[in-house]
Amino acid sequence: MTELSHEKLLDSLFDGVYFVDLDRKITFWNKAAERITGYSREEVIGSRCSDNLLRHVDEDGRELCFECCPLVGTISSGSAREANVFLHHKHGYRVPVSIRVSPVRDDEGNIIGGVEIFSDNSTLLQILHEMERLKKEAYIDELTSVGNRRYGDMTLSTRIYELKTFGVPFGVIILDLDHFKQYNDTYGHKTGDEILVMAGRTITNILRKIDSISRWGGEEFLLIFPNIDSEVLKVVAERIRAFIEASYIMVGSKMVNMTASLGVTMAFADDTPASIVERADRLMYASKSSGRNRVTVG
């Protein structure tokens, strides 16, 4: 096969391909490399990647041309490498690419350079972002950005399975904001929404990473605490109640704060998702009946 046919073959590939010599100077640059990077063959032949060309960076923003360069590593060791990186496009933005690097050897087996093949990952990232968006839509409450009812149901079922299968204890709190309808009627629904957001974020900032919060409905939140005992659960509930009482928003020059009533219970071995929520709900209404802004444990 002639050199010209080799070039035509490489130019027909959808992936970008380029060769470098032992000094890391680019000796070949195919059509797909031009398309993905914006740099023409004439602009890059004889240059190095680090000459304000590709300037690969990893997901943490580290410039690989000056440390951990895959091509340098492959030329030095003779081992192929793969990585997901971001290259510099001629127009300034970063392009996500998958790269595969291999050594180039002469007829005697000596390494005389390296070849990099790179694929544009932009479409893949768009798909992943879309999947993440759909996931959020499925499990995240749009207003408060905490879990929604579906997320709460799913987490509750998981915790009950862990309790019955592995004996992992967990506790549940049903929290309902006091006199919420009155606040809506007095200050309007926009202020009501701001109060819900305030409550959700206040609670979230108190929780551990393994705990969960979901908006159970209206002004009601479901909180689930794995690996906890009843005494610690009660302390946490009192802390949440106090933090909500101490939080406020400003409506004009008026300070508007909120209180909450909490029903607190540990899960039992024979509980179902419905039974534990019903018990916590009943305890929450006991807090309402006892004057609100309090915790009832059962």
The set of catalytic residues is 219
CA distance 181 to 283: 21
What are phi and psi for residue 85, nearest 5 degrees?
A: -135, 180
What are phi and psi for residue 291, nearest 5 degrees?
A: 120, 0
CA distance 255 to 26: 66
CA distances (Å), origin 17, targets 7, 34, 251: 11, 9, 60
Name the residue with tokens 């070849």. 115
- Helices marked H in the chain: 3-11, 31-37, 41-44, 70-77, 122-139, 149-166, 180-187, 189-204, 230-246, 273-289
